[in-house]
Amino acid sequence: MLIAGLLIGLIAGFAAGGRLDNLIAIRLRWPLVIFGALALRLGTEAALTRDVGIVESLRVPLLAAAYGILAVGLWANRARPGMSLALVGIALNATAILVNGGFMPVWEPSLTAASYGRADVLSPIHVILPATLDANFFRSAGPLGDVIPIPLPWLRNVLSFGDVILGAGLAFFLFAGLVHRPEETWPDGRPIHRPEPSQPVILAGPEVRDLPGGVRAGTGLAASLAGVAALERPVVLGGSGAGLASLAPAASGGVTAPALPGVFRGVGVRARHHPYVRLAVNGSFSALWTGQLISLLGDRVHQVALAALVYGTTNSAIAGSLTFVAATLPNLLFGPIAGVLVDRWDQKRVLIVSDVLRAGIVLLIPAGVGVNVVLAYPLVFLLTTVSIFFRPARTAVIPRVVREDELVTANSATWMSETLADVVGYPLAGLFVAFLGSALPLAFWLDSVSYVASAMLVVAVVIPPVVRSVGSVAPVPGMSGIRDDLVAGWRFLRGEPVLLANTLQAVAGQLTIGATIALTPLYAKVVLRLDSLSWTAAYAFMETGIGVGNLVGGFVIGLLGARIAKGRMVIGGYAAYGLAVVGLGLTNNLSLALGLAFAMGVSNMVFIIPTQTLFQERTPGDMIGRVVGFRFSAVFGAMTFAMAASGVLGDAAGVGPVLVVFGVITVAAGLAGLASRPLREA
């Protein structure tokens, strides 16, 4: 994994126009400390290989000293892109090794899955853990050990979570080192620079300024979406993603660097000035973004494993749907107020505490289900409740760690991490959960490790403090202000015919989304013909199909959406989504089901993107949070009802017929928009 990280970083860096002399010019802090720690670590392993007695007796102190000194050196350089990632990876591996008395644990089933046997483990610092997931596995820090099998030819290996993070850190460091030159300037002669990390962010008074690309200062959201959590998509099962509509990139696709003199500058030079490359060399943002991606990937494993655990234990549609109800209720109850409360707290502390709390809650889920499956519901509810406070805190932090002209690109990158987690994470999660078989608790333990890794990365992020200037508006204490805001939002919504019709349409149309979220795992388990494929893998592939559809649909709407009336796109999107769900309920063919899942993802974007735009265009900037807060409660109330009802109906009438009925409701909700002239012509 370390070699792969080095190669990826070098290839990406040179492809982006990087130069080796840029990397050589980097001046690390305390380099002798870092290289001395590496020499001690490698020297200890070499001596253990040669059975040097005194080194064997001092195995733990020597390894502890090597990792401790290395951690100090990496911490001193944490502002460098990739260093905080490498620090987290080293810390996770060191924990596993030191807990086991100087040995790195290797889980035997993972060893077998990678086509290795016990005789192949020749390293003096590895020890094999048996297949049984018992208390000894946990005491041996098994989740931090080598548990991820890589069975590919030429790449066969067993990796730890720390190895993956360490490899990513090395890739980030090499990439940033190759492409970044501190003295570099834009073609017009302006220096490329970034504010000092300690520089506070000053919040202006009541007149909040708008930044380039329509981004409101201090929030990182589009000006017309300041304070909005999400229009359509809830946080489910601990996910910390941005949601489908929480961040609104500019229509042009984001802020770009000043124009470069085409033929006189190479492609590599252009790449170095690209906004995404500039963000990659920002140590704080890259750590924050990578931490989010790591926890999102862990959530995908957790979500598939939870579905397998609950449906495998109960084989009941009701039991499974109640899991998603428990995961969605916090969005309904606390979503509108989470951002308001987070504004009153220290956001970095919110991020760290949220990750630590979620790491602990996830550990309890398999234990709770082992006692009684009913215990899964309060734990999932609590997990999602914590997650909805993480999301606005992260959104508030982003503008403080990037430059003003990078905000739109940073928000776009944040949204892309969730799409990447969907497209890549779900299929890998399905295969990994299928590989685990009855050892499902390991999936939850790995998700817990992902939250710990995310928290450690947030600790390393340098976030400038917020200093409120004279005349700025402080948060109003108490709950009365929140209640008044929601009432004002309802009054505006009631008087705006297009937005009111759109909201009523969404309340009915989103019923199907609630039903499909709840029933898709059981659909994969009892309806589809799978032959040799496990149902958990099929479920994960269906979620992947929806994610790919979201990606394609969003791209296409971005290209063609300006030519089509928004109201008609919403009508057509709901109708198409409903028809796809009807088709899903009528087939048991996996290939066709995956195609329909892709169609669901595309049509999802067809009604979400124009809906977001309608709210942006028709709601005053100082009202959007209140208006969407009320809409949020109404839509997610409908989705939560649908999740519960679909579970009851699924057990009574079967999964397929229930999907057909809910699909027809969504088709009807879409076509009903034709009866509203304001919506039809919007």
293/366 Cα distance (integer angstroms): 23
In a shared domain, residues 424 and 528: no
The dihedral through the CA atoms of 576, 578, 579, 584 has a sign that is positive
Task: Please indicate whether residue 554 or residue 446 has the higher confidence score (pLDDT).
Answer: 446
The Cα–Cα gap between 91 and 97 comes to 10
Rounded-to-5 percentages of helix, strand, coil across the chain? 70, 5, 25
pLDDT at 482: 62
Tokens 């094999």 label which residue? 128
pLDDT band at 340 (very low <50, low <70, confident <90, very high): low
Q: What is the mean pLDDT of residues 194-219?
A: 41
Q: Is the pLDDT of residue 616 over 70?
A: no
pLDDT in tens, 547-567: 888 878 877 776 676 677 788
User: What pLDDT does residue 587 have?
Assistant: 92
- Average pLDDT of span 621-632: 64
The pLDDT of residue 419 is 74
Confidence of residue 212 (pLDDT cuts 50, 70, 90): very low
pLDDT in tens, 323-332: 878 887 887 7
Under the banding of pLDDT at 50, 70 and 90, the label for residue 397 is: confident
299 lies in the same domain as 413:
yes
Asked which of 450, 475, 500 is the last residue of a domain, the reply is 475
Distance CA 290, CA 450 (A): 11
Predicted local distance difference test score (pLDDT) of residue 347:
80
Which of 115-119, 186-190, 226-230, 413-417 has the largest mean confidence? 115-119
* Separation between Cα atoms, residue 587 and residue 596, nearest integer Å: 10
Confidence of residue 480 (pLDDT cuts 50, 70, 90): low
Q: What percent of the chain has pLDDT over 90?
A: 8
57 or 471, greater pLDDT: 57
- Are 457 and 494 within one domain? no
In this prediction, residue 244 has a pLDDT band, given cuts at 50, 70 and 90, of very low
> Tokens at residue 17, please?
């126009």
* Better pLDDT: 560 or 475: 560
Inform me whether the pLDDT recorded for 579 exceeds 90.
yes
Judgement on whether residues 562 and 626 belong to the same structural domain of the protein:
yes
668 in a structural domain? yes
In a domain, 481, yes or no: no
Residue 243 has a pLDDT of: 33
Residue 185 in any domain: the answer is no
Higher per-residue confidence, 196 vs 587: 587
Establish if 260 belongs to a structural domain.
no
Residue-level pLDDT at 252? 35
> d(Cα 484, Cα 490) in Å, to the nearest integer?
10
pLDDT at 261 over 50: no
Question: Does pTM top 0.75 for this prediction?
Answer: no
The model's pLDDT over 126-185, given as tens digits with 9 standing for 90+, comes to 888 888 877 788 788 888 888 888 887 777 888 888 888 888 888 878 877 777 655 444
d(CA 244, CA 234): 9
pLDDT of residue 461: 79
- How do residues 638-647 score in pLDDT, each as one tens digit? 888 888 888 8
Checking phi first, is residue 604 left (phi over 0); if not, alpha (psi -120 to 50) or beta? Answer: alpha
The CATH number of whichever domain residue 310 belongs to comes to 1.20.1250.20
Count of domains observed in the chain: 3
| Residues 463 and 371 placed together within one structural domain of the fold | yes
Average pLDDT of the segment spanning 273-284? 70
Instruction: Looking at mean pLDDT, say which of 184-193, 211-220, 294-303, 476-485 comes out highest.
Output: 294-303
Does 252 map to a domain? no
Question: pLDDT value at position 393?
Answer: 77
d(CA 390, CA 62): 39
For range 195-215, the mean pLDDT: 41
Q: Is residue 248 part of a domain?
A: no
* pLDDT on residue 592: 94
What is the pLDDT at residue 596? 94
Which H helix or E strand runs over 336?
Answer: helix 317-342
Residues 231 and 278 in one domain: yes
Both 574 and 610 in a single domain?
Answer: yes
What is the pLDDT, as a whole number, of residue 500? 85
Least confident range of 2-11, 110-119, 585-594: 2-11
- Whether residue 228 is predicted with pLDDT greater than 90 in this model: the reply is no
The residue-averaged pLDDT of 320-324 equals: 80
Alpha carbon 165 to its chain's center: 15
Q: Is the pLDDT of residue 545 over 60?
A: yes
Largest CA distance in the chain: 86
Mean pLDDT, rounded, for 653-665: 92
pLDDT digits (tens, 9 = 90+) for 282-291: 777 888 888 8
Residues in a beta bridge with 222: 215
Residue 477, pLDDT above cutoff 60 = no
d(CA 680, CA 564) in angstroms, rounded, equals 11
Q: Give residue 316's pLDDT.
A: 79
Enumerate residues 6+ apart whose C-beta is below 8 A from 625: 226, 227, 228, 339, 485, 489
Residues 330 and 370 in one domain: yes
What was the pLDDT predicted at 231? 42
pLDDT for the residue 235: 54
Last-in-domain residue among 452, 475, 498: 475
Last residue of a domain, one of 447, 475, 503: 475
The arithmetic mean of pLDDT across residues 21-39, rounded, is 83
Predicted local distance difference test score (pLDDT) of residue 213: 38
Please indicate, yes or no, whether residues 300 and 419 belong to a single structural domain of this protein: yes
Task: Provide DSSP, 175-238.
Answer: HHHHH--TT-B-TTS-B-----TTPPEEE-SSSPPEETTTEETTT-SBGGGTT---SSPPP-TT
Q: Is residue 587 part of a domain?
A: yes
Same domain assignment for residues 455 and 539: no
Name the average pLDDT for the chain.
Answer: 76
Report, as an integer, the average pLDDT of 622-646. Answer: 75
Judge whether residue 75 has pLDDT over 70. yes
Compare 362 and 196 and report the one with higher pLDDT. 362
- Choose between 153 and 257: higher pLDDT: 153
Q: What is the mean pLDDT of residues 28-40?
A: 88
Distances (CA, A) of 382 to 87, 329, 458, 481, 599: 30, 10, 22, 25, 33
User: Do the bridges between strand 466-468 and strand 201-203 make them parallel or antiparallel, or are there none, so unpaired?
Assistant: parallel
Domain, as residue range, for 634: 486-682
> Which carries the bigger pLDDT value, residue 576 or residue 232?
576
Tell whether 188 is covered by a domain.
no
468, 501: one domain: no
Write the CA distances from 16 to 3, 189, 253, 284, 496, integer angstroms.
Answer: 20, 21, 20, 21, 49
CA pair distance 234, 237, nearest whole angstrom: 10
User: Looking at 384-388, 562-566, 629-633, 674-678, which range is the least confident one?
Assistant: 629-633
Q: Considering the chain, what percentage of its residues have pLDDT values greater than 70?
A: 77
The separation between the first and the last C-alpha atoms of the chain, rounded to the nearest angstrom, is 53
CB atoms within 10 A of CB 313: 16
Task: State mean pLDDT over 478-489.
Answer: 63
Output the pLDDT for position 574: 92
- Within this chain, do residues 470 and 506 fall inside the same structural domain, yes or no? no
What is the model's pLDDT at position 273?
57
